[in-house]
Amino acid sequence: MSRALVVAIFLVLLVLHQDFWLRDNASLVLEIVPIGLAYHMSFTVLAALFWLAVVRLAWPYSHEDEDDQGGEQ
């Protein structure tokens, strides 16, 4: 995953965070969770998946860096 793609997805997520379209929608999902809250719960899961993708596909540290562990012991 290229750096440009990571930045682009991050920006899209920032835009999705501003869910003005649900601003005055008081309906309850499953009669329990207000829809605005359910949306942001889904957003949180999406954010975790995004960071999982970054860790798996765009991790900036090489093996050499990874092996360079806690050298002060």
Partner 1 sequence: MTQTVIVIIYLALLLTLGYLSGRMFRGNSNDYFVASRSIGPTVLFMSIFGTTMTAFAMVGSTAESFRVGIGTYGKIASSSALIHSACFFLVGLPLWALGKRNGFHTQIEFFRARFESSKLGYLLFPILVGLIIPYLLVGLMGAGSVMQGVTRGAFPEFFPSTGGAVPPWLTCLVISGVVLYYIFAGGVRSAAWANTFQTLVFIIMGFIAFVTISAKLGGLQAASSMADPSKAVRAGNMTEMQFLSYCLIPLSVGMFPHLFQNCLTAKSAKSFRLTLVGHPLAIMLTWIPCILIGFWATGAVMPDGVTPVIPEGTSPNAVLGMMVGKLATPVIGGLVTAGIMAAIMSSLDSQFVAVGTMFTKDIVVHSYGPERFSESQLVLLARGFICAIVLVTYLLTLVEPRQVFSLGIWCFSGFAGLFPLIFAAIYWKKATKLGAYAAVIGGAASWLLMFQASGYGKNSSFMVAGVMPVAIVFATCAICMIAGSLLSQPPRQETLDKFFRKRVKV
Residues lying near partner 1 in the complex (CB under 8 A) are found at 10, 13-14, 17-20, 22-26, 28, 30-34, 36-37, 39-41, 43-45, 47-48, 50-52, 54-55, 59-62, 64-73
What is the Cα 72 distance to its own chain's centre?
34
What is the Cα 51 distance to its own chain's centre?
6
Judged by beta carbon, residue 2 or residue 18, the one nearer partner 1 is 18
Judged by beta carbon, residue 2 or residue 62, the one nearer partner 1 is 62
Query: Could you tell me if residue 31 is left (phi over 0), alpha (psi between -120 and 50 degrees) or otherwise beta?
Result: left
The residue assigned the tokens 């290229």 is: 2
Instruction: State in angstroms the smallest separation of the CB of 2 from partner 1.
Output: 13
